Amino acid sequence: MKNIFVNPIFWEGDHICIIDQTKLPVELVYEGCRDISSVWRAVKKLKVRGAPLIGIAAAMGFVLGLRRSKVKTWPGLLQEARKISRYLASARPTAVNLFWALGRMVRVVEAHEGEDKKRLLLFLKKEADAILSEDIRMCFQMSRHAACLVKNGDSLLTVCNAGGLATSGYGTALGVFYRAHEEGKSIKVYACETRPLLQGARLTTWELLHNKIDVTLICDNMAADLMRLGRIDAVFVGADRIAANGDFANKIGTYSLAVLAYYHKIPFYCVAPSSTLDLSLGSGKEIPIEQRDPLEVTSFYFKKPIAPTGVHVFNPAFDITPASFISAIITEKGLIRKPFGRNLRRLHGRLSQKH
């Protein structure tokens, strides 16, 4: 774990401590979440963000919510658990990790019929801790499976932030870069700034710089030219939800990178843990896409207005990359190639009933 340099979420006594990612890279500010509504707000406002981290935060928030509840006995606790789950699930619609983690928490309550509240809370805390530690393990496993895809001297492109800040501390796509670096490979990373909320410019470059990885920031519209110039060897991105046929949702702009990579014959990889799989959905068309505040587009990071008042705005937070553009999907179980439908089912089939 030598590359985990920052811990994006942890328990501090009876509350949750998070890094407020909206303040990075200007300030590294930790914020305490003492109740469920502060966890909901942190997820909604992207203080805590990235699919795996959203799931972890929801599981921890669930513990806070049930602990604070006045209900003391079963089956009231089960009803309360379902209410808490619905509330936290309403924060963001796309990353399936949120629903996956909340589903696990509710199942713990269901499995302990008649249990007293104190003991139930111990089981729930244990489940939330397990969700966190499983994510650490899965990120390491993914980085090992993807190691063969990165060569010494490669220039790699990524979008948004699929790093330690988006997970339990190591990352999915950025985990692959950390692993290559640990293996002594010399790599160069290009980070797309990722308009409108600039997760690439603010978070990915911050993380990579701290980990001494050679990183160059580009505006989103520069990726095509870099590819034309032959300066990108592979593209690695994370995911918010992967459907059964391999189509996946990720930060808006991912699809354009996939099309560009396909045109330029550059390998394009999606790195995500099984908590991001939603095998109940046949294709990417069924993935709900979050639409966000127009102000994110009409201003530069909520500060300077950059568009006339009243202009129509289209602001989806994610897009769908069709499976046909993907060279491989990497999960903790290994490298998955086409046909994704069959191969995802073979490796992860049991998951379809779990979400």
Instruction: Summarize the annotated binding site as residue ranges.
Output: 49-51, 92, 199, 250-251
Whose Cβ is closer to ligand MRU: residue 108's or residue 168's?
168
Q: Which of 87, 131, 79 is nearest to 105 (CA)?
A: 131
Stretch that binds ligand MRU, among 83-91, 102-110, 114-122, 232-240 (CB under 6 A): 232-240
Task: Output the smallest distance, CB 115 to ligand MRU, in A.
Answer: 34
Binding characters for ligand MRU, 36-65, by CB under 6 A (x = yes): ----------x--xxxx-------------
Contact 16, 9 (CB under 8 A): yes
The annotated binding site for substrate is made up of 49-51, 92, 199, 250-251
E strands within 20-149?
A: 30-33
Smallest distance from ligand MRU to CB 240, Å: 5
Give the number of other Cβ atoms within 10 Å of residue 145's Cβ. Answer: 20
DSSP 47-78: SS-SHHHHHHHHHHHHHHHHHH-S--STTHHH
Give the H or E element holding residue 256.
helix 254-263
Is 14 assigned a catalytic role? Answer: no
Hey, which residues does 107 pair with through a beta bridge? none
Residue range at the interface with ligand MRU (CB under 6 A); choices 209-217, 235-243, 259-267, 280-288: 235-243
φ, ψ dihedrals at 55, nearest 5°? -65, -45
- Nearest approach, Cβ of residue 51 and ligand MRU (Å): 4
Q: Residue 127's closest CA among 145, 146, 112?
A: 112
Q: Which two tokens stand for residue 271?
A: 């790195």
Closest CB 27 distance from ligand MRU, rounded Å: 18
Report the residue number whose CB is nearest to ligand MRU: 238
Taking the least distance from each CB to ligand MRU, the nearer of 108 and 235 is 235
- For ligand MRU, the binding residues in 89-108 under the rule CB under 6 A are 95
* CA–CA dist 171, 164 (Å, integer): 4
Based on the shown chain and the rule CB under 6 A, indicate whether residue 250 belongs to the binding site for ligand MRU: yes
In eight-state DSSP terms, residue 21 is G
Binding of ligand MRU by 3 (CB under 6 A): no
Cβ partners under 8 Å of residue 177, min gap 6: 150, 156, 158, 187, 189, 208, 213, 236
Q: Of 181-210, which residues contact ligand MRU (CB under 6 A)?
A: 199
Catalytic residue among 135, 220, 240, 319: 240
Q: Which stretch binds ligand MRU (CB under 6 A): 34-42, 77-85, 236-244, 347-355?
A: 236-244
Token readout for 316 is 């989806």
Number of residues this chain uses to bind ligand MRU (CB under 6 A): 18
Q: Which is nearer to ligand MRU, 22 or 37 (CB)?
A: 22
**Residue 242 — φ and ψ, nearest 5°?**
-115, 125
- Catalogue the active-site residues: 240
Residues that bind ligand MRU (CB under 6 A): 46, 49-52, 95, 160, 162, 166-167, 172, 199, 238-240, 250-251, 317
